[in-house]
Structure 1
C-alpha cells in the first residue's frame, strides 16, 4: 500500500518562501477549470487542505501528497487566521480543499494559483455522506479505485462498531441522547435514540429547558465547538465527540475514537 505523505505548512519555512512564490489572485470558485483526472497516467495529485478534516477526506480518496495548512494543535480550526506565508503552498497544488464555514476560505481562494482547482468539501462524518464525498473526490483526483477500497473499509468498520455499541447498551435498550448538530452521526453509530439537537448557535434558556425535559441519558458534545456542560442539571452524561482526525489523517480513526468514548460512557451508566 502506498504511504500517504502528509505535510503541515510550517510558518518559518513558508515565511521564507512568501516573497519568492507568487500568490495569484482571481481564480474563481470550486467549479473553476483545473486538472481533470489528475491521478491518470501515473500523476499523483498534489493536494492542499485547509484542515486535517479535509486532508483526511483527500487521503481516503487516494491522495498521497497532502499538505495541511491549519495545525492539528489548533482546537477550533475556523478561528485560525492563515498568514500569507501559510498560503504559499497552494501555488504548487493541483487541488485546494476547503469548507464554506471556514472564514479564511476567501483568503484560500485569493491565494490559489491558476493551476489549482478549488474544491469545496462537504465535511460530514455520517457514513453514507462521507462515502459519497470520498467517491466524488476520487473522481476528481483520478483515484476512483482507492476511494472505492476506502469505502469498503468504512462500511466494514461502521458495521463492526455499531454491533459493538449496540451490545454495550445499558440494560439492552437504545440510549436516549441529545446531540450537537455536527455530532449526530455518532448517535447513529451507537444506534441511539436522538430526542433533540442543539447548536451551532448558543443554547438558549428555553431550549435548555426543552432538551432537559426529554430526560436524555447522554449529551454528545462537539469537542471542537464545545461551550462547556450543555445540560448541567439534567443528570445526563456528556460525551466528547471529535470530528477532526489527527496528524495521520485517518478518518476511520475518528469513528473508532467516537465509539470508544461512547462505550466508556455507557459502561459508567
Structure 2
C-alpha cells in the first residue's frame, strides 16, 4: 500500500504550518534533497486527494496531499507558504487545470519538480489512461497494471450488480451534473441531460424536467442544491474525491451503493 502523507484537518490547516515531506519516519523537517530521499521512489505532491488517488493507482508510494478531502470545494482553497515550499521539494507535482491556484503551484515548483496536469475524471477509460500515463512518468508500470486488473474486475462486478437492480429491468433515466456522468455510466443508466457546474437556469429546469428523469446525480463538491424541485426525481449525491486512503475503487463502490439504494426506492 502506498505511504500517503496527508495534512491535518482543514480547520487546523488554515492556521498551522507544518514541515512537509519529512524524511522517512525521522520526524525532522525537510532536507535539501527531501524529494529524492525515499530509496529511489519519486516524491509526488498533489493538489487534492483525487490527483493523489490517481498517482497511487499509478504506483506512487510517497504522496503529499495539499488540499484534504474534507475541504468541501477544493478550488476555493488558498495555498499557504508551507504548501508552496512542499511543491518546490517534490519530484513530481500533479494538479488540475481548473484549480485557480495552479499558477501559484507552477511558479513555486520552479525548475526542480516536473509539473504534470491531470485530467480528473472517474470514467473508467479516462481514468485508466491517466493511470497508465503517470506510471510511465514514474517508472511504475507493473504496479499500475496490477491496479488496472483489480479495478477492471471490480468495475465489471459493480456494473453487473447495478444492472440487475434496474427497476422493472429497465435502464433508469437520469440527468447528471457534468462531473458525475461517470456514475450514470457505472449504473448503465440512460442519461438524457446534464447540468452544471453553474446553477440551473429556469430554461434548463424546464428542459431537464420535461425528460422525466427518475434520478438526478448531484456532485457533492459542487452542489447547487435541489436541481429539479417538484419533478418527482430522486436526487442523490455522488462523491468524486477519494478519502485519505486515496482509493479510487472505493469511490466507485460508494457511488454504486448510492445508486442501488436509489433504484430500489424508485
Q: What is the TM-score with the length of structure 2 in the denominator?
A: 0.89
After superposition, the Cα gap between the structure-2 partners of 1:16 and 1:99, relative to the gap in structure 1 and judged at 3 Å, is closer
CA contact (8 A) 1:6 1:67 kept: yes
Aligned to 1:119: 116
Q: Does residue 230 of the first structure (1) align with residue 227 of the second (2)? A: yes
Between the aligned partners of 2:98 and 2:70, the Cα distance in structure 1 is 19
- Runs of 4+ deviating beyond 6 Å: none
Residue 9 of structure 1: how far off its partner (Å): 3.9
| Superposed counterparts of 1:59-138, under 5 Å | 59-138=56-135
Aligned to 2:261: 264
Q: 2:181 aligns with which of 180, 184, 190?
A: 184
CA contact (8 A) 2:20 2:30 kept: no
CA contact (8 A) 1:15 1:86 kept: no
Residue 90 of structure 1: how far off its partner (Å): 1.5
Aligned to 2:5: 7
Aligned to 1:149: 146
- Listed one character per residue, the Cα deviations across residues 137-191 of structure 1 (whole Å, up to 9, x for unaligned) are 0000000111111111111111000000001011111000001111001001000
Q: 1:160 aligns with which of 157, 172, 175?
A: 157
Q: Does residue 213 of the first structure (1) align with residue 217 of the second (2)? A: no
CA contact (8 A) 1:9 1:86 kept: no
- Listed one character per residue, the Cα deviations across residues 229-250 of structure 1 (whole Å, up to 9, x for unaligned) are 1001100000110100000000
Between the aligned partners of 1:210 and 1:163, the Cα distance in structure 2 is 31
**Any idea what SS the aligned residue of 1:151 has?**
helix
- Listed one character per residue, the Cα deviations across residues 8-30 of structure 1 (whole Å, up to 9, x for unaligned) are 2454343799xx989xxxxxxxx
Between the aligned partners of 2:222 and 2:7, the Cα distance in structure 1 is 24
Count of residue pairs the alignment pairs up: 248
CA contact (8 A) 2:44 2:92 kept: yes
**Any idea what SS the aligned residue of 1:239 has?**
strand
Between the aligned partners of 2:110 and 2:264, the Cα distance in structure 1 is 51
Residue 91 of structure 1: how far off its partner (Å): 2.5
Aligned to 1:26: none
CA contact (8 A) 1:21 1:88 kept: no
Aligned to 2:25: none
Structure 1 segments unaligned to the other structure (5+ residues): 23-34
